[in-house]
Amino acid sequence: MVIILCSCAIIAIAPFAVVRAVSHEWLLAALDSGIVVGMIIILILALRTGRIKLASIILSVFYTSVGVIMVHLQPNTLIYWVYPISIANFFILPARYAGIINLAALAALTPLTNHFKDSLEFFELMVTLLLVNIFAWVFSWRAEDQRQQLQQQATIDPLTGIGNRRKLSQYLETKTIDQTAVFSGSVVLVDLDNFKEINDTYGHNQGDVVLQKVANIIHGRLRANNDEVYRYGGEEFLLLLHKTDMAGAIRVAESLRLEIEKFFTEQTPSLTASFGCAEHQPKETWNHWIKRADQALYQAKDSGRNCVRPLPTELDTIE
């Protein structure tokens, strides 16, 4: 939106700068030119740094401030520019920030009542501007609420209520795990042993119940606001243990293995789980890290299941 807004504004405002310069309206021409140059700078900032949020705030404050100044210089004709400015703020900023900036702009316009011959006309303009802001705020709030709902549906496993593989990928990519200063910890892969037999024998509904119970057991054993669990596959779970070395990951995995075994010993069907652990290594990409945990899980399966297997830390373990 920042890129689109900047591009459209540059194209729309540049001709006004030329026309006003030809008409010898030097101050307004200079302000129009300043807007164009400022938006070009902000556009370059956004493209080069990728700091879209910062660029959005700077952009909004910049063109809103210049717009208010121009309205003060020529209120009768330029006040109508406040309408697109107000709406644009809601497109590029969260509703609360856009609302604050727009209310500040409206407050800065209140001294202009003396510039209008009919005070009722100015009052009507201010009321309509306020209504436009209210409607834009409601629309922005509803759009953000729907976006969050869609985001949750796309990243939360509907059966277990925990994050899915998409959410895990998004999280790891934002952490840029190839930088050791950004993340340190271990990953544990959990695979339910012989889960297909449970589905075949007791039905998929019972299999869903088992998955929900296992998810609850794992979630209950993790450190609040520190560790995370994701449903990684059909009967696979992935634990992301922050600031946890291999020894700590093994302890967590063994504790969960015993708890799952104990819980389902008295249940029908009975169930066990296999675990693979891998500690994150310097300059290791996240997909390579999870592959090492997956290799450890295969070792657990080959060792008879219902056990924990760590993987050596050498990065050349996986070809």
Q: HEC states along 109-149?
A: HHHHHHHCCCHHHHHHHHHHHHHHHHHHHHHHHHHHHHHHH
Distances from the Cα of 92 to the Cα of 97, 119, 271, angstroms: 10, 33, 51
Residue 40 three-state SS: helix
Give first-to-last CA distance, the chain, whole Å: 42
- Quote the tokens at residue 192: 């339910």
Q: Residue 85's CB: how many other CB atoms inside 10 A?
A: 20
pTM (2 decimals)? 0.61
Q: How far apart are the C-alpha atoms of 311 and 319, rounded to whole Å?
A: 14
Sheet holding 308-310, edge to edge: 228-231, 236-242, 185-192, 273-279, 308-310
Cβ 240 vs Cβ 227: under 8 Å: yes
Distances from the Cα of 102 to the Cα of 34, 35, 83, angstroms: 21, 18, 10
CA-based diameter of the chain, in Å? 90
Cβ 58 vs Cβ 42: under 8 Å: yes
Residue 94 three-state SS: coil
Domain ranges of the chain: 2-155, 165-317
Helix boundaries (H) for the chain: 2-22, 26-49, 52-73, 75-78, 82-92, 95-109, 119-155, 165-175, 195-202, 204-221, 246-265, 286-302
Q: How far apart are the C-alpha atoms of 177 and 293, rounded to whole Å?
A: 15
pLDDT at 254: 94
Q: How far apart are the C-alpha atoms of 261 and 249, rounded to whole Å?
A: 18
Per-residue pLDDT of the chain (319 residues; tens, 9 = 90+): 777 777 777 788 788 888 888 888 888 888 888 878 877 877 777 777 777 787 888 888 888 898 898 888 888 888 888 998 898 888 888 888 999 999 999 999 988 887 777 778 888 888 999 999 999 999 888 888 888 888 777 788 889 989 888 888 888 877 654 444 456 889 999 999 989 888 888 888 999 999 999 999 998 888 877 889 999 988 999 999 988 999 999 999 999 999 999 988 877 778 999 999 999 888 788 888 899 999 999 999 998 999 999 865 443 344 3
Q: How far apart are the C-alpha atoms of 39 and 59, rounded to whole Å?
A: 7
Catalytic residues: 235
- Fold of the domain built from segment(s) 165-317: Alpha-Beta Plaits (3.30.70)
Q: How far apart are the C-alpha atoms of 6 and 184, rounded to whole Å?
A: 39
Q: How far apart are the C-alpha atoms of 221 and 256, rounded to whole Å?
A: 8
Q: How far apart are the C-alpha atoms of 161 and 159, rounded to whole Å?
A: 6
pLDDT at 255: 94
